[in-house]
Amino acid sequence: MQRIPAILALSLLLPACGGGEAEPETAQLPPVFVIGMDGLEWDVMLPLLKEGRLPHFQAMIERGVGGGLETFQPTFSPVVWTTIATGATPQQHGVLNFSEPKPNGLPYTSNARKVPAVWNIVSEAERSVLSVGWWVSWPAEPVNGRIVASYAAQAQGQVFWKAGVWEEGLPELTYPEDLIYDVLPLLEKGAPTGPLRTGYDALFEVIPGEARLSPQDPVDPWEFPRVRDSFFRIGYHGDATHLAIFEQELAKDVADLNMVYFGLPDVAGHFWWRYYQPDEFEYAIPQEHVDLLQKRIDAAYEAADSWLGRIVEAAPENARFLIVSDHGMHAANRRNPQHPQSGAHEDAPPGVLIAAGPGIAARGILPEVEWRYSAQFGRQRREVVLQAPERIGSVFDVTPTILQWMGIPHAADMNGEPLVGLATGEATLATAQPPVGTYATGFRPATAPRVPKDGLNEDFERSFLDQLGYSEAAEEQAARDQEEGGD
């Protein structure tokens, strides 16, 4: 896989101090905040921004820059988010799908990753780390700081919300280990049956309970969206809980690198697109379903905006922000009313990147340009043309950029480069460092994926891959990988 070359550049450029050209001490650099927001789509965001419904995104864009972020196939969350966290290709980092090939078929875990993640590199540079909920981060790795890990997927609700299981059966959920005792009360509050239900119901409204068209008709007209709702609710509770954990840890101490992941925009797109754009589908959608559910994608973006606002409020005034989406989203499975997903991204639509903070030029949303990319569904390939904000870079460039912002060299064997070039005034590239050869030398060897507790792999496949409609796509991709020799 070839690195996607950057067309635009993004740099952190700091004013020279006292006329000198010496680099600042890294301890004096502002903290970096990386906010992963899965599945953000500019076609959804732009109308909401124009209507003033995403004020915190808008404020971030106005003092920085927003544009498209190129991604790749297979556009599966564990694969792309691991690339974002390493700057490496899937073949380099070893996370090739949701799960390793069968017969084992276990979900990938952090010990199976072949190269260091950005939190490892930053720790080795004696800088501090805080990471909450990042994909494929369980078991939590020892770092110079704190990690609250995520096993396989946030949507794995019946596992995530058994808080006692995390404490007793997943001792490596956190690093340091005793951090679990600070986190556990928030996990308990975040359970789908807990107090967060009120906030969810206010945002998304309640789907009607079981109903019959007539005593003779056993069909429940709301059963299909209600099943989707049960998993969507878990996604909301998971994100809201990760936000609470992140805020709690920031109140203790802001790290040099602060990372958090939210998945709700992605889950909203998968489940509710048929109601968001009903005219895109070739089957009839009950109008009462559209009336109730059409606003759910917008509401998910508004929730994400409010979470961004809370993080900005908790961050120091000089913090630098990088908001990253691993891909976009669009209507899919237009002819199949029973497919769990009516929105999808397997053809790698561009994601979103927003950056703001000291030294980043205030350029706002970059102009819309024509994007052309090769889409693949099954064995069919086609060229897709769409209009979206101009490209800033690719998912491969995120980790090199984070390292540059922190005054740490990126590695020559990473598949991306620091996004440089958007200077402010007479600022100088104070944090630029020549690349090192690799950070992989001496990194602990990769081992087979681990299972935290007996039966969790079966829970994962049943509750997440099947219900989200990923199993079929994942199996097709695994077959292609095997046929093509993993290329």
Query: Within 10 Å of residue 215's Cβ, how many Cβ atoms?
Result: 6
How far lies 171's CA from each of 106, 113, 221, 236, 238, in Å? 19, 20, 43, 25, 19
Could you tell me whether strands 364-365 and 64-70 are parallel, antiparallel, or unpaired per DSSP bridges?
Answer: parallel
6, 401 Cβ separation under 8 angstroms: no
**Which of 154-163, 256-265, 337-346: highest mean pLDDT?**
256-265
Residue 12 included in any domain: no
Domain of 417 in residue numbering reads as 26-483
pLDDT digits (tens, 9 = 90+) for 306-340: 999 999 999 999 999 999 999 999 999 999 999 98
Q: How confident is the model at residue 26 (pLDDT cuts 50, 70, 90)?
A: low
**CA–CA separation, 128 and 243 (whole Å):** 19
Task: Say yes or no to pLDDT of 215 above 90.
Answer: no
pLDDT digits (tens, 9 = 90+) for 10-25: 443 333 333 344 444 5
Q: How confident is the model at residue 459 (pLDDT cuts 50, 70, 90)?
A: low
Q: Which helix (H) or strand (E) holds 33?
A: strand 32-37
Q: What is the CATH number of the domain that holds 315?
A: 3.40.720.10
Tell me the average pLDDT of the chain. Answer: 83
433, 408 Cβ separation under 8 angstroms: yes
Task: Say yes or no to pLDDT of 300 above 70.
Answer: yes
Task: Say yes or no to pLDDT of 445 above 80.
Answer: yes
pLDDT at 237 (0 to 100): 87
pLDDT at 210 (0 to 100): 67
Task: Say yes or no to pLDDT of 2 above 80.
Answer: no
What is the DSSP secondary structure assignment for residue 126, as one 8-state letter? T
pLDDT digits (tens, 9 = 90+) for 353-410: 999 998 888 889 998 888 877 665 544 566 777 778 898 999 999 999 999 999 999 9
DSSP 237-293: HHHHHHHHHHHHHHHH---SEEEEEE-HHHHHHHHHHHHHSGGGSSS---HHHHHHH
What is the arithmetic mean of pLDDT over 68-85?
Answer: 94
Task: Say yes or no to pLDDT of 5 above 60.
Answer: no
Q: How confident is the model at residue 261 (pLDDT cuts 50, 70, 90)?
A: very high
Residue 10 included in any domain: no
pLDDT at 471 (0 to 100): 47
Q: How confident is the model at residue 34 (pLDDT cuts 50, 70, 90)?
A: very high
Q: What whole-number percentage of the chain has pLDDT above 90?
A: 58
pLDDT at 461 (0 to 100): 57
Residue 409 included in any domain: yes
382, 397 Cβ separation under 8 angstroms: no
What is the arithmetic mean of pLDDT over 39-56?
Answer: 97
Residue 9 included in any domain: no
Query: Within 10 Å of residue 357's Cβ, how many Cβ atoms?
Result: 21
What is the arithmetic mean of pLDDT over 243-249?
Answer: 96
Beta pairing partners, 14? 428
Residues 6 or more apart whose Cβ sits within 8 Å of residue 39: 263, 265, 266, 267, 268, 269, 270, 325, 326, 327, 328, 329, 345, 351
Residue 413 included in any domain: yes
Residue 7 included in any domain: no
Residue 379 included in any domain: yes
Tokens matching residue 331: 């209507």
Task: Say yes or no to pLDDT of 299 above 70.
Answer: yes
What is the arithmetic mean of pLDDT over 424-432?
Answer: 49
Tokens matching residue 324: 């990253």
The residue ranking higher by pLDDT, 214 or 244, is: 244
- Total domains in the fold of the chain: 1
| Alpha helices (runs of H) in 412-469, residue ranges in sequence order | 456-460, 467-468
Residues 6 or more apart whose Cβ sits within 8 Å of residue 483: none
Residue 348 included in any domain: yes
